[in-house]
């Protein structure tokens, strides 16, 4: 449905508008970072509730959200005016699922539009953003917005809720400390008559934390469960200290410090498009680094639950055995599968069964033929893994990935 909607878009931009976009795309692209920064500054000034209760303040401080906007708008515009450009279906799917997990609704697109176009004029100047230029970019925005709005409505419909009505009151049923400052939380509905739903393996939920300054900040956490039984959901949270590269993890640290057993929280329904194809019988290769193991545990849980006979290869990289928080669960799940193999790569420690002391280098791993590859980890980890797979002539359509940041489509640049 999403691909069909995007393909239809190519015919929605008028020839006159397409000509203007082609002429101005280099200028807009060169300045889109400044446009994005101005846009967010203006929008949060006009609508302070958005940075307080919807947008990730940490990503804003790092400029990550601005990069995400820049990439999405420029990529979509380029696709509209270049019939040879690939369809940005993965990009829009990620945005749509993230919006659904945040409860975004159609009316909020108008807020974005008004502040974005005010920023374009402010950065480029009214002499550049003539009536024709403004109309052409306005058309691009609303074509993209309509695709996303419809896609998000479909996601809400599939979830059985009205648009934006994704929030559920839950309580912490279990809390278990793992290693490396990571805590595993298991939650259940505060209303026994409305249990938390099933989900696809690899999906995530949003958790809303009511912080001391009154902000209701949101973060997404991958689910560790098989997803086949309604009732409880589990996710892992890693404490994040402030560094020169990133601010402290507001929600993650709040959860670890405050979410004791019995604590009530507000979470969204599950969404996310990095999901295991459970209808396929092809081999599966799960590649993860650090806390990127979490969606892979969800996929392994489903495979184990289904008593799958698929060939499964699990590759995980971490600092050491002591920092591999989900090692025990991973070992247990792999042992439940009849045709699974586990390889661990630690940069420190001692070699042992399934353990190699080195960085993960996919070129030195025997990969199954015609497999589906699922990747999750840091930006550098994903870039290296995808480059390796590309050099090995692995079909890009077989490689599915997720980065715990707003910018995973930038990996394609």
Which residues are 210's β-sheet partners?
A: 216
C-alpha triplet 361, 363, 365: angle, nearest 5°: 80
Task: Select which of 40, 83, 106, 109 is catalytic.
Answer: 109
Which residues are 401's β-sheet partners?
A: 375
Task: Give me 256's structure tokens.
Answer: 């670890």
Tell me whether strands 264-268 and 232-238 are parallel, antiparallel or unpaired. Answer: unpaired
Calculate Rg over the CA atoms of the chain. Answer: 22
Q: Are 240 and 246 in contact (CB under 8 A)?
A: yes
Max CA separation in the chain (angstroms): 67
Q: Are 149 and 100 in contact (CB under 8 A)?
A: no
DSSP letter assigned to residue 369 = T
Assess whether 152 carries a catalytic annotation: yes
Q: Distance (Å, rounded) from C-alpha 43 to C-alpha 284? A: 43
Residues contacting residue 101 through CB under 8 Å, at least 6 positions apart: 166, 204, 205, 206, 220, 268, 269, 271, 272
Task: Give me 213's structure tokens.
Answer: 């300054």
- CB-count exposure of residue 210 (10 Å: 0-12, 13-18, 19+): middle
Cα-Cα-Cα-Cα torsion 367, 373, 376, 378, nearest 10 degrees, comes to 60
Task: Give me 21's structure tokens.
Answer: 């976009």
Q: Distance (Å, rounded) from C-alpha 380 to C-alpha 129? A: 38
Assess whether 109 carries a catalytic annotation: yes
Q: Are 186 and 196 in contact (CB under 8 A)?
A: no
Task: Select which of 40, 152, 204, 221 is catalytic.
Answer: 152
Active site residues: 109, 152
């Amino acid at each position: 449905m999403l691909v069909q909607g995007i393909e239809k878009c190519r015919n929605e931009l008028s020839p006159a508008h397409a000509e203007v976009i082609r002429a101005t795309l280099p200028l807009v692209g060169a300045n889109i970072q400044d446009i994005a920064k101005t846009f967010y500054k203006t929008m949060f000034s006009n609508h302070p509730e958005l940075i307080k209760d919807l947008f990730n303040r940490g990503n804003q401080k790092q400029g990550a959200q601005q990069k995400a906007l820049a990439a999405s708008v420029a990529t979509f515009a380029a696709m509209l005016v270049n019939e040879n450009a690939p369809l940005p279906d993965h990009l829009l799917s990620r945005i749509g699922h993230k919006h659904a997990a945040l409860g975004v609704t159609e009316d909020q697109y108008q807020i974005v539009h008004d502040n974005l176009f005010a920023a374009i004029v402010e950065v480029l100047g009214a002499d550049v953003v003539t009536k024709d230029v403004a109309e052409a970019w306005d058309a691009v925005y609303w074509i993209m917005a309509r695709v996303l709005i419809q896609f998000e409505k479909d996601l809400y419909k599939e979830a059985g809720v009205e648009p934006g009505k994704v929030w559920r009151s839950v309580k912490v049923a279990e809390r278990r400390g793992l290693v490396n400052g990571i805590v595993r939380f298991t939650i259940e509905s505060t209303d026994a008559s409305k249990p938390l739903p099933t989900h696809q393996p690899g999906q995530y939920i949003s958790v809303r934390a009511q912080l001391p300054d009154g902000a209701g900040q949101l973060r997404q956490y991958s689910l560790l469960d098989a997803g086949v039984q309604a009732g409880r959901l589990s996710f892992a949270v890693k404490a994040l200290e402030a560094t020169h590269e990133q601010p402290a993890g507001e929600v993650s640290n709040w959860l670890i410090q405050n979410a004791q057993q019995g604590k009530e929280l507000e979470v969204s329904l599950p969404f996310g498009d990095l999901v295991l194809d459970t209808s396929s019988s092809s081999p599966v290769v799960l590649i993860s680094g650090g806390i990127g193991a979490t969606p892979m545990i969800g996929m392994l849980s489903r495979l184990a639950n289904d008593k799958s006979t698929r060939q499964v290869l699990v590759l995980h990289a971490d600092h050491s055995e002591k920092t591999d928080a989900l090692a025990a669960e991973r070992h247990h799940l792999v042992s439940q599968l009849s045709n699974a193999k586990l390889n661990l790569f630690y940069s420190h420690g001692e070699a042992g069964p399934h353990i190699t002391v080195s960085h993960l280098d996919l070129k030195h791993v025997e990969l199954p033929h015609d497999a589906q590859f699922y990747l999750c980890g840091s930006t550098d980890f994903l870039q290296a893994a995808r480059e390796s797979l590309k050099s090995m002539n692995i079909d890009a359509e077989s490689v599915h990935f997720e980065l715990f940041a707003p910018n995973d489509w930038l990996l394609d640049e």
